[in-house]
Chain A
Amino acid sequence: EPEVTQTPSHQVTQMGQEVILRCVPISNHLYFYWYRQILGQKVEFLVSFYNNEISEKSEIFDDQFSVERPDGSNFTLKIRSTKLEDSAMYFCASSQQGYGNTIYFGEGSWLTVV
C-alpha cells in the first residue's frame, strides 16, 4: 500500500539552527500538508500546499517556517532558526484531492531542540 515517507525519523538540533524535514508524499497525490504534535497536545495543522504554492497556513506557520517542493517527489519543511518550543513530532501528509478526500499521514519526524 502506498505510504507517505518522512526523514529523518528523529533529529536533535541546537537552538537557532536551521532544520529541514523531508517527505515523499504518495505519488499520485496533489495536496500536501505539514502538521505537528507537541508532546501531550493535539495534532495541529501548520500548512497546506497545492499547485506549487501555499493554499492555507495556520498562525503557527510564521516567517521562520517555509515549505518547498524542490522536485517531483519531495516536499520539505524548513525551520530557519529553531526555538525550544519547536520541539515536536512533525507529520507530513498528502491527499489525492482537496475537499472530502482522506488525508494520509507519514510516520513523523521527531524534532528535539536543545
Chain B
Amino acid sequence: DQQVKQNSPSLSVQEGRISILNCDYTNSMFDYFLWYKKYPAEGPTFLISISSIKDKNEDGRFTVFLNKSAKHLSLHIVPSQPGDSAVYFCAASGAQGGSEKLVFGKGTKLTVNP
C-alpha cells in the first residue's frame, strides 16, 4: 500500500540553508495533509498541515506547498537548524471519502549539519 510516498529516505543540508522534503500521493480522495517530525523512540510531533482548498500554508520557518494536479506536496524549512534533524513524515487523510485515518509515508531523515 503506497498511497503516500516519500521517495527520499534521507536528506542532508547545511545549517542556514533551505531543506525541501517531498511527498507524493496517489489517492485523489485525500484532502487534508500533515507533516510530522519524529525523533527515535518518540511519538510524531505535528508541524504543519494544509487543506486541499489551499496551495500554500506557512508557519514560521515551515511552509507546505500543495500541487493537487501533480498530487505532490513539499515541506520547506528556512533557515534549517541542527535541531531540525529528525525523521519527517508526510501524512494524508480523506474525510470526504469517509475516512479520517492518517495514511503515512515512510519518512525522510533530515540531517542539518552545523
On A, residues with C-beta under 8 Å from B are 4, 6, 31, 33, 35, 41-45, 48, 55-56, 58, 89, 91, 93, 98-100, 102-108, 110
Contact = CB atoms under 8 A, between A and B. Distances in A.
Given A44-B104, A56-B100, A99 B44 contact: no
8 contacts: A35-B102, A42-B106, A98-B100, A99-B93, A105-B45, A108-B41, A108-B43, A110-B41
A42 B94 CA distance: 18
A45 B51 contact: no
Interface of B: 32, 34, 36, 41-46, 49, 51, 89, 91, 93, 95-96, 99-107
Q: Considering residues A42, A58, A107, which has the most beta carbons from chain B within 10 angstroms of its beta carbon?
A: A42
Contacts of B95: 98-100
Nearest to A10: B41
B103 A45 contact: yes
Contacts, number: 59
A102 B49 contact: yes
A89 B96 CA distance: 29
Given A99-B100, A100-B95, 4 more contacts: A4-B43, A43-B89, A43-B104, A108-B43
Given A43-B89, A99-B32, A99-B95, A104 B103 contact: no
A81 B23 CA distance: 37
Q: Considering residues B36, B49, B100, B103, which has the most beta carbons from chain A within 10 angstroms of its beta carbon?
A: B100
